[in-house]
């Protein structure tokens, strides 16, 4: 029996059918994340270099990261609201499609050498980044509480294949773009456009039945059964409950790790080019960084489920501090030093995102989850936009080492938040 037939119009599904649907959902999400990873790698790898080439000067090099993360903020809100109303399939599918159109717009802007079109297209391209991030929530809708960390990790590790391959295709994509009459630095965005559109198509066609709608249906049935003993079940339009405290703790973890990571990552390609590293070496460093962001996810998810959300969030702060110190201490011409620093940067972000996401999922319900998740991802995107915008200004006024140290020490702001949480809200540090 197919999953569609198993759930049909039944208000609830059995544990076996739910487990089968969860496995199918993970396969579809994994496929979309492989494609989405290839799409997001373009902006990370060559966005700053493209702006630097078109406008000149390091002061504007952080603008692309600021723009596509700002665009991802608006998209996170819209994708969250669409998912809340229509389900994950429509919300995520539409988000990837819009991001793909934005990536193709970046290519058109580079061909026309039009900076206004470039900035507008980067805003739209940010929808793909937001959607790629929100897809991790679809993996948790039907997961058991003790398996949520691992479900998140499966979705994230799938991003690795595309995200690591993308930066290492910079040179061949640049040559392909040149043969097509497109500036070499726009080549990765050509790949991003195709990848994002394909990811949207995968979700639109294959994410059936919708995991969020099934989870919500099961939750409503439980509420109706409980309420039937004392009063009528609440109407479908009844008030949506607010999230519990853990959602805001998770949000704080993800926001701080995002600022620290984006600020350092954004200016690394510019720093490397200033020290005469080639595009291939830039692609290698960013590829290692993105690999560290996603590849350890399976181990991280298991640790988040086993030892708790709060200890892993604390590990995120200390790892990001180590990344900032390493980046600041590494000589500009040291490829190995930069690889180590950016690997630590990606690993710290990985710890923070999975631990923070698990905290948010634990503190929400299917009735309020997409809206809360969308709002939190808006804050994450705005934090990234701020980090990206400020990074270029800081490097222009001081140097890359100062930026790296600032980013590293900023992550230590996590520790007092987590100490307060562990002291006053001890259950949040353990598995639900």
**C-alpha span between 38 and 51 (Å, rounded):** 20
For 201-247, the pLDDT digits (tens) are 999 999 989 999 998 887 766 554 544 544 444 444 445 667 777 88
Quick one: what percent of the chain has pLDDT higher than 70? 84
> DSSP assignment, residue 421?
H
Instruction: Say which residues have a Cβ less than 8 Å from residue 285's Cβ, sequence separation at least 6.
Output: 268, 269, 272, 277, 335, 338, 339, 342
Q: How far is Cα 351 from Cα 301, in angstroms, rounded to an integer? A: 9
The domain limits of the chain are: 21-216+243-429
**In sequence order, which ranges of 169-278 are alpha helices (DSSP H)?**
170-179, 187-206, 211-227, 245-274
Q: Is the pLDDT of residue 139 over 80?
A: yes
| pLDDT the model gives residue 221 | 63
Tell me how many degrees the CA angle 260-94-49 measures, rounded to the nearest 5: 40
- Rounded Cα distance, 71 and 2, in Å: 38
Report yes or no on whether pTM surpasses 0.85.
no
pLDDT number for residue 62:
63
Mean pLDDT, range 14-27, rounded to an integer? 88
pLDDT digit string, tens, across residues 306-330: 998 889 999 999 999 999 999 999 9
Buried b / exposed e along 148-170 (16+ C-beta atoms within 10 A): bbbbbbbbbbbbbbbbbbbbbbb
* 425 band by pLDDT with thresholds 50, 70 and 90: very low
CA 368 and chain centroid, separation: 20
Measured distance CA(115)–CA(293) in Å, rounded = 30
End-to-end CA distance of the chain: 33
| CB 361, CB 235: distance < 8 Å | no
Using the 8-state DSSP alphabet, how is residue 182 labeled?
Answer: S
Structure tokens given for 256:
């701080």
- Are residues 152 and 140 in contact, defined by beta-carbon separation less than 8 angstroms? yes
What per-residue confidence (pLDDT) applies to 185?
82
Q: Which residues contact 320 (CB under 8 A, 6 or more apart)?
A: 257, 260, 261, 344, 345, 348, 349, 352, 407, 408, 411
What is the CA angle 299-158-118, rounded to 5?
A: 125
User: How many Cβ atoms from other residues are within 10 Å of residue 194's Cβ?
Assistant: 16
Q: What is the CATH number of domain 21-216+243-429?
A: 1.20.1250.20
What number of other Cβ atoms are within 10 A of residue 179's Cβ?
Answer: 9
- Which 3 state secondary structure label does DSSP give 25? helix
Q: Which two tokens stand for residue 38?
A: 């290839």
């Amino acid at each position: 029996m197919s999953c569609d037939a198993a759930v049909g119009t039944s208000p609830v599904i059995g544990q076996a059918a739910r487990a089968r649907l969860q496995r199918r959902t993970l396969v579809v999400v994994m496929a979309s994340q492989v494609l989405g990873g290839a799409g997001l790698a373009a902006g990370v790898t060559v966005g700053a270099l493209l702006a630097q080439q078109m406008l000149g000067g390091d002061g504007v090099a952080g603008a692309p990261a600021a723009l596509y993360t700002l665009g991802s903020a608006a998209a996170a809100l819209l994708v969250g609201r669409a998912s809340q109303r229509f389900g994950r399939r429509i919300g995520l599918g539409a988000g990837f499609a819009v991001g793909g159109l934005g990536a193709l717009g970046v290519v058109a802007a580079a061909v026309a050498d039009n900076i206004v079109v470039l900035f507008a297209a980067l805003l739209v391209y940010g929808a793909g980044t937001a959607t790629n991030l929100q897809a991790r929530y679809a993996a948790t809708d039907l997961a058991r509480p003790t398996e949520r960390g691992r479900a998140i990790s499966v979705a994230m590790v799938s991003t690795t294949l595309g995200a690591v391959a993308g930066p290492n295709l910079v040179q061949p994509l640049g040559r392909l773009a040149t043969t097509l009459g497109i500036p070499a630095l726009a080549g990765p965005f050509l790949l991003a456009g195709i990848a994002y559109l394909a990811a949207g198509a995968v979700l639109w066609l294959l994410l059936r039945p919708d995991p969020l709608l099934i989870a919500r249906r099961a939750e409503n049935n439980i509420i109706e059964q409980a309420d039937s003993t004392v009063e009528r079940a609440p109407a479908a339009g009844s008030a949506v409950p607010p999230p519990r405290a853990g959602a805001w703790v998770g949000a704080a973890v993800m926001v701080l790790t995002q600022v620290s990571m984006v600020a350092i990552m954004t200016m690394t390609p510019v720093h490397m080019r200033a020290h005469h590293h080639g595009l291939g070496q830039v692609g290698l460093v960013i590829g290692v960084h993105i690999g560290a962001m996603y590849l350890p996810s399976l181990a991280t998810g298991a640790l988040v489920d086993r030892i708790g959300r709060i200890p892993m969030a604390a590990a995120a702060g200390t790892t990001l501090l180590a990344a900032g110190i390493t980046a600041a201490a590494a000589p500009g011409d040291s490829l190995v030093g930069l690889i180590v620093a950016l690997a630590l940067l990606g690993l710290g972000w990985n710890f923070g995102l999975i631990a923070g996401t698990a905290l948010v999922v634990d503190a929400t319900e299917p009735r309020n989850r997409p809206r809360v998740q969308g709002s939190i991802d808006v804050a994450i995107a705005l934090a990234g936009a701020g980090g990206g915008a400020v990074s270029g200004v800081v490097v222009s006024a001081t140097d890359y080492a100062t930026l790296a140290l600032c980013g590293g020490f900023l992550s230590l702001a996590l520790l007092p938040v987590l100490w307060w949480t562990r002291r006053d809200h001890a259950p949040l540090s353990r598995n639900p």
